[in-house]
Structure 1
Amino acid sequence: MYFAALLARTEDGWEASDTELDDVETLSDLTELAREASVDDDTVLVFIEQEDAWFGIVRVEGEDDPRIFVSDGAAAARSSYGEILTKELLGDELDDDTPDLDALDLDGTEDGEPAEDEDEEEETELAGETVPAEPLGDLMILDDLGMSEKYLLKLGTDALSDIADALGAAEVLEAVR
């Protein structure tokens, strides 16, 4: 099960909104969704969490390229929204002869649980790239907002509440949860 929310920084603090990812197919779609929530091109954080598996943060500021952090690359690569983020982080450009990953049967990965007869793998293949079971992306994504790289790396899979708390946005995030 996924949870996704947008946190937009305003003059009065953070504003949170629950967001629907049904129409998001690319990082560009996700970035555009964040820009629509922005007030005066200020910081918008997109939180995506797949229960007990991984979490991701996409930071959008104005027209700058989005900054991305994923807590576990291998776990994220096995899910539809995480795949969008890990492809971007790995610089993966799919060739025409690469199979469509959306068409593959991923055996229970959408709910974060491996198939009963399989052990969770340490790495995942994504279009020929090995995706490590470790954090990927911009480790300094929240540093200027008060959360250090060291603290970010210590967080578990249910980290979004801790992040919102560190940013002073816990109440507004919980209101949309």
Structure 2
Amino acid sequence: MSYFAAAVVRRPSGWNAAEVDLNGAGDIDEVADLLRDVDQDAEISLLFVESDDTYLAIMRLDEGEDLRVFGSDSAFAEESRLGALLVGDIKAPALEIDDVVEPVDRTAGSSDDDDENEPTVDPDADPVGDADLLADLGISAHRLLTLCAHEGMLPADVLAEVCKVIGCDNEVEELREA
């Protein structure tokens, strides 16, 4: 299983990022400890994990406490040890995709060209956890769920959009290129 794990921490001076090795982690608390270790004094610590170009998990700690987790699809927990580690304990769904993603209107007057420009929702997406964990940073639950549910959008695409909005896109891109 291939994955990319980027810890992004915010201090008064701005965002810093570091790649995190999750191979030795035995449970979610150890993953949280790895995130804390990036910067003990960070106001906000985020961990973005992309797995196999299919799944995205996001963890958040505020001042090293109150772990919050979001997963783009509950199937991640069933597909891998990493998925089970990150989202396996989450019981509640984030929200129903249908509750936050507007259905595409296919009434008369729509041309085939219009249909090609409309985003397609992945009917199998089953996000879990706290979809609101980035709301105060500019990514509402609705926006996060819409990004994750957009068929054909890779976790790297979702992460790029999220990082652009919260202002840490350069830091994460530098990690990706290293």
Q: Same fold (TM over 0.5)?
A: yes
Partner Cα separation in structure 2 for residue 166 and residue 76 of structure 1: 27
Structure 1 ranges of 4+ moved more than 3 A = none
Runs of at least 5 residues in structure 2 that lack an aligned partner in the other structure: 93-123, 148-152
Does 2:140 align with 1:148?
yes
- For residues 144-170 of structure 1, the C-alpha deviation after alignment (integer angstroms, 9 at most, x for no partner) is 011111110122332111111111110
Match of 1:3 in 2: 4
Aligned positions of 1:130-169 closer than 5 A: 133-155=125-147, 156=153, 157-158=155-156, 159-169=158-168
Q: What SS does the corresponding residue of 1:46 show, helix, strand or coil?
A: strand
Larger Cα-atom Rg: 2
Q: What SS does the corresponding residue of 1:31 show, helix, strand or coil?
A: helix
- For residues 19-66 of structure 1, the C-alpha deviation after alignment (integer angstroms, 9 at most, x for no partner) is 111211210111001111235241100111013211000001235231
8 A Cα contact 2:78 2:84, kept in partner:
yes
Q: TM-score, normalised by structure 2?
A: 0.71
Does 2:37 align with 1:36?
yes
Aligned positions of 1:21-170 closer than 5 A: 21-90=22-91, 133-155=125-147, 156=153, 157-158=155-156, 159-170=158-169
Q: Please, what is the CA RMSD of the aligned residues?
A: 1.7
- Greater shift in the superposed pair: 69-78 or 138-147: 69-78
Structure in which a larger fraction of residues adopt helix: 2
Structure with more relative contact order (C-alpha pairs < 8 Å, separation 6 or more): 1
Partner Cα separation in structure 1 for residue 170 and residue 87 of structure 2: 29
Q: Identity over aligned residues, as a percent? A: 32
Partner Cα separation in structure 1 for residue 64 and residue 163 of structure 2: 24
Query: Cα 1:173–1:63, aligned 2, differ >3 Å: closer, same or farther?
Result: closer
Count of aligned pairs:
137
Query: Cα 1:22–1:85, aligned 2, differ >3 Å: closer, same or farther?
Result: closer
Runs of at least 5 residues in structure 1 that lack an aligned partner in the other structure: 92-121, 123-132
